[in-house]
């Protein structure tokens, strides 16, 4: 029996390796001098002095661990303060901290839709949302990426049926760095009465005049019914949160979401780091236009060098190459040239769209951009 399991594991891994899809953990040394264009610390807050001091103070006051789930003793005044701060920042009355974005999306989408409901989801939503929807028992329909005409057609088709309609989108898509038209989604929501769940994981910090995300930037603050945000990307910490208008959504998650009920709550230093990071994010308001220009300049530089990249001003730039093995080799060569980039392969992205994903951060210099573009051009593709 055990031999059969061992053989099954070996064969599955060998098949992945042959397709260039095997994933490996690579331990990064603290002395790493590579230019990091792979992590999601877009605002360079993970090492920001104010963030480090806040985390260290919380470590001394509250300890290294929450030591229990939120419903036992893990929920402290610090956690409550972060929830209040997040809610006020985004313009929602209710917030709930979760241990990760993966858990938050699983909880929201696993608990809110029910059998008999339909979930209309963008084709490229994050795996955590797909997994949540699949556990909910609701019917899943997917519309072409950012195609709100296709969504509208589905809404018309679904109208008049029993059951609720949920629409699920990201604001900045994690592997493409592009965005849907949020004002149009807001209008569609008003017309069709669906429940809109929006993942702002990659927009928080970088977008919006106070950094609260793309809803703020596109003039539809707090339009979605439920927002999922993360603390582990631009906020330089760890964990996630759910925002909602309806208090019963928060209460439902607190009572029924296993991801919340049965898991040790966020460590206090991570909570304090996120609180300090939100303060820093607000300080950055005058700088945001410069970062957006930085994103445009990187895209222009890459296009001029012959690489096809989408336009935009988000911190994520995909260079879609197609072949997974080729993308792995590119990432290795770029590493030798001093740049750490993510080689993103299926199933994270659709088959045939393996890519180099570049994440920008606010302190990147013109020299880095020139050096990176030169290194990319020098690759033997
Ligand atoms: C769009 C999106 N949502 C959620 C998550 C999960 O967040 P976390 O890393 O906090 O689990 C990610 C992670 O990369 C993501 O890209």
Q: Annotate 61-117 with DSSP letters as a single string.
A: HH-S---SBIIIII--HHHHHHHHHHHHHHT-SEEEEES-HHHHHHHHHHHSS-TT-
- On whether the CB atoms of residues 86 and 244 are closer than 8 A, the answer is no
- Contact between 46 and 55 under an 8 Å Cβ cutoff? The reply is no
Q: How confident is the model at residue 282 (pLDDT cuts 50, 70, 90)?
A: confident
Q: What is the pLDDT of residues 212-264, one digit of tens each?
A: 999 999 999 999 999 999 999 999 999 999 999 999 999 999 999 999 999 99
HSE-up of residue 308 (Cα within 13 Å, Cβ side): 5
Q: How confident is the model at residue 210 (pLDDT cuts 50, 70, 90)?
A: very high
pLDDT for position 60: 98
Tell me, in angstroms, the distance from the centre of ligand 1 to residue 370's CA. 30
State the average pLDDT over residues 128-139: 98
Q: How far apart are alpha carbons 272 and 56 in whole angstroms?
A: 9
The 10s digit of each residue's pLDDT in 6-33 is 999 999 999 999 988 899 998 999 999 9
Which pLDDT band holds residue 348 (cuts at 50, 70, 90)?
very high
User: What is the arithmetic mean of pLDDT over 306-320?
Assistant: 96
Tell me the pLDDT band of 365, cut-offs 50, 70 and 90. Answer: very high
Count of CA atoms in the C-beta half-sphere (13 A) of 233 = 27
What tokens appear for 257 in the block?
Answer: 């979401």
pLDDT, tens only, 66-92: 999 999 999 999 999 999 999 999 999
The pLDDT assigned to 94 comes to: 98
pLDDT at position 160, please?
Answer: 87
Query: Residue 202 Cα, ligand 1 centroid: separation in angstroms?
Result: 8
Rounded to two decimals, what is the model's pTM? 0.96
Selected from 3.40.640.10, 3.90.1150.10, 3.40.720.10, 3.40.50.1820, the CATH number assigned to the domain covering 286-377 reads 3.90.1150.10
Whether residue 127 is predicted with pLDDT greater than 80 in this model: the reply is yes
Q: Is the pLDDT at 187 greater than 90, yes or no?
A: yes
Q: What percent of the chain has pLDDT over 90?
A: 96
Closest C-alpha to 83, from 216, 213, 229, 290: 229
pLDDT for position 277: 98
Known active-site residue 146? no
Query: For a substitution probing ligand 1, which of 39, 199, 202, 230 has the most ligand atoms within 8 Å of its CB?
Result: 230
The whole-number pLDDT of residue 138 equals: 98
Nearest to 220 by CA among 184, 249, 246: 184
Asked if pLDDT for residue 360 goes beyond 80, the answer is yes
Q: In the predicted model, is pLDDT for residue 331 greater than 90?
A: yes
Predicted confidence at residue 375, as pLDDT, reads: 95
Quickly state the pLDDT bin for 319 (edges 50, 70, 90).
Answer: very high
Res. 381: pLDDT tops 80:
no
Is residue 32 annotated as part of the catalytic site, yes or no?
no
Mean pLDDT along residues 84-102: 98
Do the bridges between strand 226-230 and strand 240-244 make them parallel or antiparallel, or are there none, so unpaired? antiparallel
Longest dimension (CA), the chain: 63
Read off the pLDDT band of 140 (50, 70, 90).
Answer: very high
**344 strand-pairing partners:** 355
pLDDT score, position 292: 98
Tell me what pLDDT residue 49 has: 98
Among 100, 174, 237, 263, the active-site one is 174
Eight-class DSSP state of 245: S
pLDDT at position 296: 98
Give yes or no for residue 232 CB within 6 A of ligand 1. yes
Which H or E element spans position 169? strand 165-170
* Whether residue 380 has pLDDT greater than 80: no
- Is residue 136 exposed (0-12), middle (13-18) or buried (19+ Cβ within 10 Å)? buried
Whether residue 293 is predicted with pLDDT greater than 90 in this model: the reply is yes
Can you give the pLDDT at residue 173? 98
- Residue 2 clears pLDDT 90, i.e. is over it: no
79, 90, 126, 361: which is the annotated catalytic residue? 126
Locate the ligand 1 atom nearest the alpha carbon of residue 232 and give its number: 10
Report the residue count for the chain. 381
CATH of domain 49-283: 3.40.640.10
Q: What is the 3-state secondary structure (H, E, C) of 267-304?
A: CHHHHHHHHHHHHHHHHCHHHHHHHHHHHHHHHHHHHH
Q: Is the CB of 128 under 6 A from ligand 1?
A: yes
CB-based contacts of 126-134 (< 8 A; 24+ apart in sequence): 126/101, 126/170, 126/174, 126/199, 126/201, 127/347, 127/348, 128/101, 128/102, 128/103, 128/104, 129/105, 129/168, 129/197, 129/199, 131/105, 131/106, 132/105, 132/106, 132/107, 132/108, 133/109, 133/168
Boundaries of every domain in the chain: 49-283, 286-377
Residue 215, classed as helix, strand or coil, is helix
Q: How high is the mean pLDDT of the chain?
A: 96
CA 305/CA 297 separation, integer angstroms = 12
Can 283 be counted among the known catalytic residues? no
pLDDT tens sequence across 24-63: 998 999 999 999 999 999 999 999 999 999 999 999 999 9
Q: Which of 55, 49, 99, 92 is nearest to 213 (CA)?
A: 92
């Amino acid at each position: 029996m055990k031999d059969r399991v061992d053989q099954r594991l070996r064969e599955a891994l060998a098949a992945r390796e042959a397709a260039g899809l095997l994933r490996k953990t690579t331990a990064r040394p603290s002395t790493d001098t590579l230019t990091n264009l792979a992590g999601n610390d877009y605002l360079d807050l993970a090492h920001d002095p104010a963030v480090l001091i806040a985390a260290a103070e919380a470590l001394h006051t509250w300890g290294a661990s929450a030591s229990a789930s939120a419903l036992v003793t893990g929920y402290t005044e610090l956690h409550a303060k972060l929830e209040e701060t997040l809610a006020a920042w985004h313009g929602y009355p209710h917030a709930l901290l979760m241990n990760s974005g993966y858990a938050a999306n699983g909880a929201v989408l696993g608990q809110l839709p029910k059998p008999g409901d339909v979930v209309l989801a963008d084709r490229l939503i994050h795996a955590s949302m797909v997994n949540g929807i699949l556990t909910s028992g609701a019917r899943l329909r997917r519309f072409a990426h950012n195609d709100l005409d296709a969504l509208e057609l589905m809404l018309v088709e679904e109208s008049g049926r029993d059951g609720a309609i949920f629409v699920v989108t990201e604001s900045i898509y994690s592997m493409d760095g592009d965005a849907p038209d949020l004002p149009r989604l807001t209008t569609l929501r008003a017309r069709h009465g669906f429940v809109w769940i929006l993942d702002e994981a990659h927009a928080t910090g970088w977008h919006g005049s106070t950094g609260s995300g793309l809803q703020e930037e596109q003039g539809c603050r707090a339009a979605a019914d439920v927002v999922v945000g993360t603390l582990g990307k631009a906020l330089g910490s760890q964990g996630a949160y759910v925002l909602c208008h309806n208090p019963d959504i928060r209460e439902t998650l607190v009572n029924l979401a296993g991801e919340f009920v049965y898991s040790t709550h966020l460590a206090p230093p991570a909570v304090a780091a996120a609180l300090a990071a939100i303060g820093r994010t607000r300080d950055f308001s005058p700088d945001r236009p410069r970062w957006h220009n930085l994103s445009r300049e990187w895209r222009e530089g890459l296009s001029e060098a012959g690489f096809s990249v989408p336009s935009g001003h988000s911190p994520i730039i995909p260079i879609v190459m197609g072949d997974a093995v080729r993308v792995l080799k590119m990432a290795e060569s770029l590493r030798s040239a001093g740049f750490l980039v993510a080689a993103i392969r299926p199933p994270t992205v659709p088959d045939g769209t393996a890519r180099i994903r570049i994440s920008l951060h606010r302190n990147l210099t013109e020299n880095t951009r020139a050096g990176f573009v030169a290194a990319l051009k020098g690759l033997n593709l």
